[in-house]
Amino acid sequence: MNDKIRSYTAGIIDGEGHIGCYRRPNNSYDMRISVQMKYDKVPNWLLKNWGGIVFYSKSVKWTWRARETLSIKILNEVEKYMVEKKDQSYIYKKLFNLKQKNIRINQFSSADSPELLQEKDNLYLLLRELHN
């Protein structure tokens, strides 16, 4: 991947992208970056260069999306070129790293410890605040 592609991608994400996380009812997180456009040229360029998926909907038009590990790989590559959403990228990556931790209440529980849940929730709320 060359610097031209990285910097162009950073500009697209800065201007038209969304670095987001959605909390599910079970306190898990669906993490993704996406770019929505009226035409398919840029979303398909992102797909060709980075992977992910592209889909069309009448309400949004064309959307490119990268989730979870792929989104982290992309942000690691382009973050140094970002201006507007650099803070969102940083917090998103911190939340992703916490999401990978496996700190349980006890050895028999599948639930995260209350401290880890609170730390994840704080980062989630901070990321949402940066969107406004």
Average pLDDT, the chain: 90
Q: Each residue of 8-44: pLDDT tens digit?
A: 999 999 999 999 998 888 778 889 999 999 999 999 9
> To 10 degrees, the CA torsion angle through 30, 34, 40, 46?
-100
**Residue 112, pLDDT score:** 74
Strand order in the sheet with 53-57: 17-23, 29-37, 61-67, 53-57
C-alpha 75/C-alpha 14 separation (Å) is: 11
Q: pLDDT value at position 108?
A: 59
Digit-coded pLDDT (tens) for 58-114: 988 999 999 999 999 999 999 999 999 999 999 999 999 988 776 555 555 667 778
Decide: residue 91, CB within 10 A, 0-12 exposed, 13-18 middle, 19+ buried: buried
Q: What pLDDT is recorded for position 117?
A: 84
